[in-house]
Structure 1
């Protein structure tokens, strides 16, 4: 009965944790594009990477050495929620919804957000930056809280955690559906509006309170004779001295470059078909978040395969499967459309579950199983640094360059030439961008297959 209670409590924690992220992660790009900030979408998603370079590691050190992890989780969510709500409030007070011409056959108009003259981009961006700076560490910290609680209950984290983590993805999906189907007083879906920031911020405040009810995660203060590096928790970086861990972290960074690309651009890409007379009235173009959520549904199912996959194939093959799944993820986007090609979007969503889970969750479990308990939170923070930090920031920056070159720069030139909305939209070559990303993932996968050895073989 005790074990069941712990599982239920951790299920709710994971549900809220990822519902916070799902409220804006896949739809923020669409809001920014409508607001005329399409060329800067990369910056907002790269920001999650910038802060993950140092914040998860620093917060992990605090949780390891001085403050119980559940209290650190609560404080971070409090600050993240306050700043996310402030982001939405600033956008609400400094912008408006206006009618925009739609090239749909019925000639109807739709509403888009437009920044007013007094809108200060720097203020808006800094508020968002502060929110994600405190949110990103909570992904690793919530894992530490869960692992500690499961081990305290005498459970095997490798077997017990994946079914619990499934509900994090379910929470993510529920938030996506919420912002897809809810509309504001202007008739604008939350996925295209600043209301998505309010939803995320409110959920952060809920988790702030709930985290304090989690089982205590004891800190492990440094010994009096410990070095400065050990006292600060920096000894997790010593893992780079081990060849296997060094290669693992380097390729975690390279693969992490793929993580935020579809989050940043998929909604914007699918919604852009509204400007194409052939697809303007299609259900898919109007419900991008629902199409994207297929990936999260697949993710939910694939999490349950992780214990089997880890045991059957080993970490190398599991990560290889993830890498080649990214090739198909991007390739299907390049080939699809929300009309007769919508099945390719569906296939892209299906392989996303493999691409994300077989890398992120398996990698986290690999770190947990192969590090000392005294640096476990710090090591999880280091894993976050390499994936959602260096990898995501560099990858999203590069993706922004690619998308701007293939899409936004040609569209800007078309708009300056006075072309109609349909012609402006057609000037962007989204397929070229997606195929470029697919080629990158393929190269990373091939190199990983050559350089990384299975841990069991490495020990032999």
Structure 2
């Protein structure tokens, strides 16, 4: 890969995840404090991410794999996203906020697959090269969280009381605008066309990537991706609010530890892949979710604060060893014509179906224990996703066979 191309892709990844991290980490706290949202209202807002992910494969399959350059679609979606993010900044109630965040997530979620596709198309050896590009997305998320806590202090007690968390959406709008403009300068990533193949409804929508599910291993991976994202949703929806209520100061800044961990572990993925294979690598990621939630359940911000910090630090293993490994595995299994659609299919399974179920389960659990008070409220909340993660880990361990690459053409 040329140095100039590597720089462009690195900046793309940085802005892609800076834009997301700029507002998503503090969203639960913002909804509770600025818009007085209930648990199910919060779940409804977080679920827009899942709706966007469910729609994403259709957008990618219909457009990126068939008709238009991926980098141009990326630019258009981020320019529209900047406008919608500014409207989210101006919203003063959940009812006003919801339509804008829904439209934004429908446009943003496809970009996760697009940045991967654009990157993979420039690489000769994705298993070795992708992690060095993707790590800049983690750096972007870190810089966003650091800015919120230590530069602007929007998540301090005073900042939250003054409603300053809404400024995170303005910051996200600016970075989305920058990425939208940058996208038009990225390496050209035209669709892979097969003149001998007649277009059908399934091929136009990118549904041909479903052929991957004929592989027993990929089907198990797909189902496991859905199930493990149920406990993952608890983290996105509750972690920041939990840490704030626990009394952990500069919680957004502390959560940066998770992204630092992510940046370190993402570089170890090629080593784990070569030495232990895909199955063991992804199993480590799965069981890490169970461990981190137990640490949250039994830790506190006083004498057991180290348990909360360790739980945050496990994010690198939780995310990288499952999601990034899954992206590389999917790229290796997909045929050349369906790489973008295949990435969209995994987005559908993870950020779509799995998290949609998870957000609503998390919202229901939160409201249930709010209306039926118990001692150690958060302990009861965190034990549930920990148990789910253990069950998924066991199912994957006994059913997935770590075999050689088998491309579904």
The normalised TM-score by structure 2 is 0.93
How far the C-alpha of 1:249 sits from its partner, in A, is 0.6
Partner Cα distance (1:133, 1:60) in 2? 15
Q: Are the aligned partners of 1:60 and 1:141 in contact in 2 as well (CA < 8 Å)? A: no
Q: Are the aligned partners of 2:293 and 2:383 in contact in 1 as well (CA < 8 Å)? A: yes
Q: 2:345 aligns with which of 382, 394, 401?
A: 382
Residue 26 (str. 1) matches residue 16 (str. 2)? no
Partner Cα distance (2:46, 2:191) in 1? 32
Distance 1:428 1:347, change over 3 A: closer
Q: Are the aligned partners of 1:27 and 1:191 in contact in 2 as well (CA < 8 Å)? A: no
User: Which contiguous aligned blocks of 4+ residues in structure 1 show a shift greater than 4 angstroms?
Assistant: 189-192
Residue 138 (str. 1) matches residue 111 (str. 2)? yes
The residue aligned with 1:409 is 371
The residue aligned with 2:321 is 358
How far the C-alpha of 1:287 sits from its partner, in A, is 1.0
Q: Are the aligned partners of 1:410 and 1:427 in contact in 2 as well (CA < 8 Å)? A: no
Residue 289 (str. 1) matches residue 262 (str. 2)? no
Gaps of 5+ in 2: none
The residue aligned with 2:37 is 37
Q: Are the aligned partners of 1:333 and 1:434 in contact in 2 as well (CA < 8 Å)? A: yes
Q: 2:187 aligns with which of 215, 231, 236?
A: 215
SS of the equivalent of 2:65 reads helix
RMSD, aligned CA: 2.2
Q: Are the aligned partners of 1:68 and 1:217 in contact in 2 as well (CA < 8 Å)? A: yes
The residue aligned with 1:421 is none
The residue aligned with 1:53 is 54
Residue 266 (str. 1) matches residue 239 (str. 2)? yes
How far the C-alpha of 1:428 sits from its partner, in A, is 6.2
Residue 391 (str. 1) matches residue 354 (str. 2)? yes
Q: How does 1:283-362 map to 2 (within 5 A)?
A: 284=248, 286-362=249-325
Distance 1:192 1:244, change over 3 A: farther
SS of the equivalent of 2:187 reads coil
Give a deviation string over 1:165-218, Cα, whole Å, max 9, x none: 11110100110111223147x951599621111111111111000111110012
Distance 1:225 1:211, change over 3 A: closer
Residue 158 (str. 1) matches residue 127 (str. 2)? yes
Give a deviation string over 1:44-103, Cα, whole Å, max 9, x none: 222201221122442243111111000011111111221111111123xxxxxxxxxxxx
The residue aligned with 1:253 is 226
Q: Are the aligned partners of 1:25 and 1:264 in contact in 2 as well (CA < 8 Å)? A: no
Partner Cα distance (1:297, 1:124) in 2? 31
Distance 1:146 1:191, change over 3 A: farther
Residue 10 (str. 1) matches residue 9 (str. 2)? yes
My pick for the range that moved more, 198-207 or 188-197, is 188-197
Q: Are the aligned partners of 1:65 and 1:222 in contact in 2 as well (CA < 8 Å)? A: no
How far the C-alpha of 1:43 sits from its partner, in A, is 1.8
Partner Cα distance (2:375, 2:221) in 1? 40
Partner Cα distance (1:188, 1:288) in 2? 13
Partner Cα distance (2:192, 2:264) in 1? 36
The residue aligned with 1:416 is none
Residue 197 (str. 1) matches residue 160 (str. 2)? no
Partner Cα distance (1:214, 1:323) in 2? 34
Gaps of 5+ in 1: 92-118, 275-283, 412-425
Q: Are the aligned partners of 2:14 and 2:136 in contact in 1 as well (CA < 8 Å)? A: yes
The residue aligned with 2:141 is 172
Aligned pair count reads 401
The residue aligned with 1:437 is 385
How far the C-alpha of 1:427 sits from its partner, in A, is 6.0
SS of the equivalent of 1:453 reads coil
How far the C-alpha of 1:362 sits from its partner, in A, is 0.6
Partner Cα distance (1:428, 1:131) in 2? 36
Partner Cα distance (1:409, 1:25) in 2? 26
Partner Cα distance (1:378, 1:458) in 2? 17
SS of the equivalent of 2:2 reads helix
